[in-house]
Amino acid sequence: MNIEAEFAKLSAVKPLKTNLSRELTVAVMGAGSRGNEYPAYGKLFPGTLRVVAVSDVNAYRRDRMGDAWDIPAERRFGDYHEMLEAGRNGKLADILLIALPDNLHFEPAMEAMRQGYDILLEKPMAQTEAECRALLARQHETGVMVAVGHVLRYSPYFRALKQALDLGLVGELVNIQHQEPVLYAHMAHSFVRGNWHDSKVTTPMIVAKCCHDLDILKWMVGKRCEAVSAEGGVYLFRSDKAPADAPLRCTDGCPHEKDCPYSALEIYDRKRWFMYVFDVPKDCSSEVLREQLEKTDYGRCVYRCDNDQPDHIVAALRFEGGVTCSFTMDAFTPWGGRRTRIMGTLGYIEGDGKTFTLHRFDTGKAYPWAFVPPEGDNYRESGHAGGDLALIRDFLEAVDTRDFTKLSSSLDASVESHLMGFAVERSRLNGTKESI
Ligand SMILES: NC(=O)c1ccc[n+]([C@@H]2O[C@H](COP(=O)([O-])OP(=O)(O)OC[C@H]3O[C@@H](n4cnc5c(N)ncnc54)[C@H](O)[C@@H]3O)[C@@H](O)[C@H]2O)c1
C-alpha cells in the first residue's frame, strides 16, 4: 500500500454548500438551541431551506423564529400538539425538525411519520428501547425519511477517521480507546442544574450525551456490538459533598462562592458561558442575569440539585470478531472535545477531536491530519466541528433526491447505538454484563 497516496485521500472534504432542485420547506418543533442550529443553513445558503411553521411554548422563542422567517401568525403554534393537529389536513412543510426536549421526541415523531413528513429528529430518538423499535417499525411502514441528529458522523474530522479505517491505514482494527470529556462547567450546567439533570425525565447520561460516542464507535468499527459492561456514578454532585454552610442558591450569599468553580455567578455572570438558555442579551447587566439565576435552576447550588446523572462512566464494549472499545465519559476535565486512540495491526491513530496523527509500524513514519476547509466555505460557522450544517446539507440532498444512501445517520443506522446505550446503563446500575 502506498500510505502517502492513501492518506492524501483523507483531505478531500465535501463543501457545505449544495445545489438542490428546489427550496425545501421546514416546520420546526422546538425553537430553542437546536431548533435554530439547523435552519441557519437556509440563511447561509438562500434557496435551500425555508422555515414556514414553528411551534414553541416559549412565546419569545416562537416569535424570534417567526420574525426571522416571516412566518404568518396562523403558522406560529404553541404546544407541538397544535402543530400536529394542523398537519392532519395536509402537512405544513416538506420536512419536520423535532428539536423538543428528550421526553417529547417519540410521540410527535410517530404521528408526523403518519402524516408523511420527512423528519430530522434530534437525538436521543426516544427514551426506551421499545420506543426506538416502534419508531423504526413506523418508518419502515410509512417509507418517510428520518435522520437522527448524530452530527459527529458528518464532521470532517470523524469522516476522515472513519475513512482512514475503511482504507485499512491501521491494518485490521483491534481496539479503540475513546473519551468524552464533558468539561466541568458543562456538566454542572446541563446535567446537574439543567434540562438533563434527571435521567428519568430525559434519558440516562450514556444515551442523552454519549449516544453520539456509542454511535461513532459502532460506525467506525463497522460491526455489531455484542456485549457491554460498565461502572460509574455520581461522585461529586450530591448533598453529602456540600459544604455544611452552603445555601440552596449561589445567589443567597454563599461563603464559598468566590472559590467554587461551579458557582453560578462565576459560570454565567463573570464568564458569560451558556447564555443561550436565558433569552436575555449576552451582554446584559449583572442585575438582569441575577434575576435569571434567582428564578431558574441555573442558580442552584450544584450539591443541592435533584440530579442523578453520573459524572463518570467507564464502559467496555465487545464487537463481532473480538474487536473491543473502552469508553469513558468524564465530567472533570478543563475542556470538551472527544479524544480517541485507535489500535490496529499495522498502525495507530491518536486524535483530539480536531486533528489526528497516524503512526505506521512498517514505515515508522507519522502522518498528521488537520481539517482544511474548502476555499471560501462556511464550515467554521457550524457547531460540532462542522457536523451540524453538514448533517442538514446531506439530509436536504437526501430528501431532494429521495436517495436514502446520502444519509449516514438514518433511523436504521442509529437504533443500534441507542440500544447499546440502554444496555450500558443497565450494566452500570445492576452490575451485570449485558448482551445486545
Ligand atoms: N445533536 C446534538 O448534538 C444535540 C446537542 C444538544 C441537544 N440535543 C438534543 O436536542 C433537543 C433539544 O435540545 P435544546 O438544547 O435545543 O433544548 P432547548 O431547551 O434549547 O429547546 C427546546 C425547546 O422546546 C420548547 N418546548 C418544550 N416543550 C414544548 C412543547 N410541549 N411544545 C412546543 N415546544 C416545546 C422549549 O420551550 C424550548 O425552546 C434535545 O432532545 C437534546 O437532547 C442534540
Distance in Å, CA 101 to ligand 1 centroid? 4
C-alpha to C-alpha distance for 436 and 420, rounded to whole angstroms: 7
Q: Over the stretch 168-200, which tens digit does the pLDDT of each residue have?
A: 999 999 999 999 999 999 999 999 999 999 999
Cα–Cα distance between 204 and 196 in angstroms, integer?
8
Which atom, in ligand 1's list, is nearest to the CA of 277? 20
Count the residues in the chain.
436
Q: Considering only CA atoms, which of 70, 35, 78, 71 is closest in space to residue 53?
A: 71
Question: Rounded distance, CA 374 to CA 17, Å?
Answer: 10
Q: Per mean pLDDT, which range of 14-18, 104-108, 429-433 is the poorest? A: 14-18
**430 grid coordinates:** 445492576
pTM across the whole model: 0.96
pLDDT at 295 over 80: yes
| Closest to 385 measured CA to CA, from 352, 433, 421 | 352
pLDDT tens profile 135-152: 999 999 999 999 999 999
| C-alpha of residue 34 to centroid of ligand 1, in Å | 6
Task: Tell me what pLDDT residue 329 has.
Answer: 98
CA angle 207/208/209 to nearest 5° reads: 95
What's residue 409's pLDDT?
Answer: 96
Residue 382 has pLDDT above 90, yes or no: no
How do beta strands 312-319 and 225-233 pair? antiparallel
* Structural domains of the chain sorted by starting position, each given as residue range(s) with its CATH number in brackets: 3-150 (3.40.50.720), 152-238+307-378+409-435 (3.30.360.10), 240-299 (no CATH)
User: Residues 216-238, buried b or exposed e (16+ Cβ, 10 A)?
Assistant: bbbbbbeeebeebbbebebebbb
Q: Taking a C-beta distance cutoff of 8 angstroms, is the pair 195, 45 a contact? A: no
Question: How far is the C-alpha of 166 from the C-alpha of 11, rounded, in Å?
Answer: 15
Distance of CA 425 to the CA centre of its chain: 18
* Distance (Å, whole) CA 86 – CA 148: 24
CA 108 to ligand 1 centroid distance, Å: 13
Q: Is the CB of 30 under 6 A from ligand 1?
A: yes
Q: Is 399 in the pocket of ligand 1 (CB under 6 A)?
A: no
CB 180 within 8 A of CB 338: yes
pLDDT at 377 over 90: no
Per 3-state DSSP, the chain is made up of helix, strand and coil in percentages (nearest 5) of 40, 20, 40
Distance of CA 430 to CAs 95, 228, 230, Å? 40, 12, 9
Q: 261 CB contacts (<8 Å, ≥6 apart)? A: 184, 185
Question: What grid cell was written down for 212?
Answer: 453520539
**Ligand 1 atom, smallest distance to 36 CA:** 16
pLDDT of residue 381: 77
Residue 205 backbone class (left: φ over 0; alpha: ψ -120 to 50; beta: rest): alpha
Ligand 1 contact via 49 beta carbon (within 6 Å): no
Nearest CA residue ID for atom 11, ligand 1: 99
Half-sphere exposure of 154 (CA within 13 A, CB side): 26
